[in-house]
Every structure is written in structure tokens, then in C-alpha cells.
Copies of this chain bind each other. A is one copy, B any other.
Amino acid sequence: MSMRRVAIVGIGYTKIGEHWGRSLRDLFVEAALKAMDDAGVERVDALYVGNMMSASLQEQEHLGALLAGDIGLSGIPACKVEAACASGGMSIHQAYLAVASGEYDIVMAAGVEKMTDRLTPEVTLSLAMAEDREYVIFSGATFVGLNALLHRLYMHKYGAEPEDIALVAVNDHENAVNTPYAHFRNRVSVETVLSSPMIADPIHLFECAPISDGAAALILCPLDKARKFTDTPIEIEASTVSTDRLSVHERDDPLTLMAIVRAARKAYEKAKIEPKDIDFVESHDAFTILGVMTLEDLGFARKGEGYLLVREGQIARDGRIPMNTMGGLKARGHPIGATGIYQAVDAVLQLRGEAGKNQLSKAERGLIHSMGGVGGTVVINILRRAD
């Protein structure tokens, strides 16, 4: 049996930032209505909401039915999907299956997170729920602390310098300058990054994605119906998921994120392509070191050599593998459950040729990488401009 092919025909999103005066629901409604408007549809057949933290930050669950009602679509099937920081990517994967199955035609894959409703220590605790509460968080570990272990081990083992890793943040900020919806639109230098406060040695403040509010939404439909809604359908060539033990200490090689390796292999196989066929990558670089490791585990560099790609400027918009072309998690922003959807928005804009000053000269196929925890869940979606 062959599956139905699936395309993205609408995108909608809010500006990412600290939306002190707005609610989770308000942000969602803006993104959802914009996406429906973009696709020219007045309703959808089903809704998936990617969200991680509404229970702990808003004391609100049941987002599927709640938010379907808020956009005037009470009645449609709706649910929340959660896979920590990969919730957005997972929302796309589930919406993809829903359309591929033949059960639903027009499906919204959305994501939303409102992080500024609480004080930072509460947000930190909430984020830590992505890790093993009983064995790791109980011990006092934080997310940035766990990434700091990888960062230090990576430099020690492969000889990378702090400057090499910091360049991931510099690249993100460079790209976000031209992104209207980015959280931070300023350039930063390596010196700025490395002189920012140390959060968990060797990770500096400017190497961490910010605490962001935002919502984004995609409209998916069968590829063979896509031109009814848009002149530039973007096909989801492959949508794959893999998981790993949540905790770094449980893995054979802490410096290889096996969930990326497995999900990427499967995605390349499904799309019948190789890494060299990817024109750009939107990477889940919640911390700079993850950006470097991701390049390797996705197959763009050999293990231990990802930092060289970065050092050589190959992740820039005119490089060999442009990365985070609209600003990535560090500068475009990281509203947890929405991040995977924003990555798709970034990619769709490139593939449609609507990326403005950041438009790549060649953007036919992009890979988006959504990740939960320190590689506990990885969702890979390969997007391509339909012929």
C-alpha cells in the first residue's frame, strides 16, 4: 500500500518575543487564523497542538478542544501532542500521518508556548521535566548543565575551541537580523558571546536559546489537492521520529545523538536522497554545542568535525550547508512547543522564495530537525518545493 503524499499549503505565526500582555490562547489564535488565511481555508478537518508546558505554566490542559473553540472550530477532532522540546516537530509528524492515512484532508499542525507567565526558576523547573525527574533532575542537574557536560567533552575530545562553538550563535544572530518575526534581531560577535555571563561552564548566556513566547501553525493537505490552496505547495518528503534514553549518562557515546542518526537515516531513505541533496538545515540548537553535534549526526560532517564546518563559515547562507537561515533557536527564538513549527515556517519561506533578504540562492529542499531533551526525541521532516 502506498501512502498519500502530503504537502504544506499554509503558514501562520506570531512574532516571537516576550509577550507580557498576551495569553497562550491569544497567540495561538493569531497564528492559526493567519495560517488558514494563507491557505485560503475557513476550517480544517483536525487540529494538532504541540505544547509542552501549559500544565505547569498556565495550569491549563485540554488545549486541543480549548483552542479549536477559540478559533471558532469547536467540533473538529483536536488534541495536544507532547514530546518535550520536540512537541512542535511531533505535531507535524502526527498531522502528516493523519493526512497520509486518508482519514483527514485538511489538518492544522500548530505549536504554542507562553513561557513568560511565570518567573524564570519556575520555567527552569518546567523545562527540566524533559529529563528524567527521578534520577537526573532530582540530583540537581539542569538542562544547561547537562549540555555543558557535552560542550566540555566535545572540546576535550575533538580539539574544538570555545570560539568555534560560539560561532553557531553568531550565525543565528546574523540570520535573524532580517527576520521580522525573530526574538532577537541584533548581530553579535564571537567576543560578545564569549564575554557574556557564564551560565554553566563552558556555556555562556549568549550560547543559550532565550525564553520565548510564540505560536505558529501549518496547514497540511494531500499533495494532489495542494494546488487548490496555493501555487507553491511544499511537500513533506519524509517525516521520521526516533527516541533515545533521556539521559546522557545512559548512552554509549555521549557525543553522538543516536536519535538524530536514526531518524535522519530513515528520512534520507524515505526521500531517496543523501545529505548532499539537502540545500539547508533548520537545526534545534537550543545550545550552541547542539548545533555542532547536529551537523555531524545529520551526516553533514564526520563525527568530531562539525566544528570545522562552522569555523570555515560553511553554515552561513552562502556556505556549503546553510544552517538556521532565519535565526535558529538562539535568535529567531525558542517558544518550546512552537519551535518545531517555526522551523517549518522558516523552511517554507525559503522553499517558496519568500525569505526576503535571507533568501538562499538554491532552496529546493530543506531539512528540519526538532529535538526534545538532550536528544531524547528527534523528529526530522524533509521539505521540498513540489514540482
A interface list, Cβ under 8 A from B: 1-4, 23, 25, 46, 52-53, 55-56, 58-66, 68-69, 74-84, 90, 93-94, 97-98, 100-103, 125-126, 128-134, 137, 240-246, 250, 258-259, 262, 372-373, 376-377
Contact = CB atoms under 8 A, between A and B. Distances in A.
Given A65-B373, A134-B23, A81 B81 contact: yes
A62 B246 contact: yes
A253 to B, nearest CB: 14
Contact of A74 (B84, B129, B243): B243
Contacts of A377: 62, 64-65, 78-79
Which of A53, A61, A128, A131 gathers the greatest number of chain B CB atoms within 10 Å?
A61
Contact of A100 (B76, B103, B133): B103
Given A23-B134, A59-B133, A241 B66 contact: no
Contacts of A58: 133
A70 B129 CA distance: 16
Q: Which of A2, A58, A81, A128 has the most CB of B within 10 A?
A: A81
24 contacts: A1-B102, A3-B101, A52-B61, A55-B56, A59-B128, A61-B82, A61-B84, A62-B82, A64-B377, A65-B259, A65-B372, A65-B377, A77-B240, A78-B83, A79-B81, A79-B94, A80-B81, A81-B82, A94-B97, A97-B97, A97-B101, A98-B101, A100-B101, A101-B102
A66 B129 contact: no
A240 to B, nearest CB: 8
A271 to B, nearest CB: 14
A57 to B, nearest CB: 9
A33 B170 CA distance: 47
A82 B82 contact: yes
A84 B1 CA distance: 34
A360 B355 CA distance: 63
A366 B219 CA distance: 35
A94 B79 CA distance: 10
A332 B243 CA distance: 34
Contacts of A243: 64-65, 68-69, 74-78
Contact of A62 (B1, B74, B84, B134): B84
A104 to B, nearest CB: 8
Contact of A66 (B23, B77, B102, B246): B246
A371 to B, nearest CB: 11
Query: Considering residues A3, A62, A74, which has the most beta carbons from chain B within 10 angstroms of its beta carbon?
Result: A62
A62 B131 contact: yes
